[in-house]
Amino acid sequence: MAILIALAISVAIASPLAARSAKGEGPRVEIEPEEYDFGSVQQEQKLVYEFTVRNTGTEELEIRRISTSCGCTAALTSDRTVAAGASTILRVTLETRKYKGVVERSVSIATNDPGRVHTVRVKAFVEAPE
């Protein structure tokens, strides 16, 4: 019986959230592009690319956490909150260090968008000096 009550409460709480999600209400994050390729680069370079973080929802978007897949990659936003219909910049820096060949790194952005954590990727082909 307790399980049925808990299930009923879960459905009652989730239903309004699902209805809002289906209507596109609340904060909605879109990041463009999802991936950027720097092409062929040299070692010991600091590469920078700016992604556009857009709030396509109806409520303020909160950028809660940004994490990178490697210490050679950093990411910062100009704003931690984005009004409905507005956008901000996500500046991603990739240091090529002494890497050789294809280098791919990711940046995860956690927000108050109930959809999911969004991930963008940067990559480069690092050429070693001869």
Predicted confidence (pLDDT) at residue 122 exceeds the cutoff of 90: yes
In a domain, 66, yes or no: yes
Q: What is the pLDDT of residues 61-86, one digit of tens each?
A: 999 999 999 999 999 999 999 999 99
Does residue 6 register a pLDDT over 50?
no
Residue 21 lies in a domain: no
Domain of 50, CATH number, reads 2.60.40.10
128 secondary structure, DSSP code = P
Domains: count for the chain: 1
Is the whole model's pTM more than 0.85, yes or no? no
Within a domain: 18:
no
| Cα gap 80→62, rounded to integer Å | 6
In a domain, residue 55? The reply is yes
Cβ atoms within 10 A of the Cβ of 92, count?
A: 23
Question: Confidence class of residue 94 from pLDDT cuts 50, 70 and 90?
Answer: very high
Q: Are strands 35-42 and 118-127 parallel, antiparallel or unpaired?
A: parallel
Residue 6 counted as domain residue? no
pLDDT tens-digit map of 8-67: 555 555 544 444 445 568 999 999 999 999 999 999 999 999 999 999 999 999 999 999
Q: What is the pLDDT of residue 51?
A: 98
SS3 64: strand
For 96-121, the pLDDT digits (tens) are 999 999 999 999 999 999 988 999 99
- Residue 38's domain spans which residues? 27-127
pLDDT (0 to 100) of residue 116: 83
Q: How far apart are the first and last CA of the chain?
A: 72
Full DSSP string of 37-57: EEEEEETT-EEEEEEEEEE-S
On whether residue 118 sits in a domain, the answer given is yes
Residue 16 placed within a domain: no
Q: Does residue 64 fall inside a structural domain?
A: yes
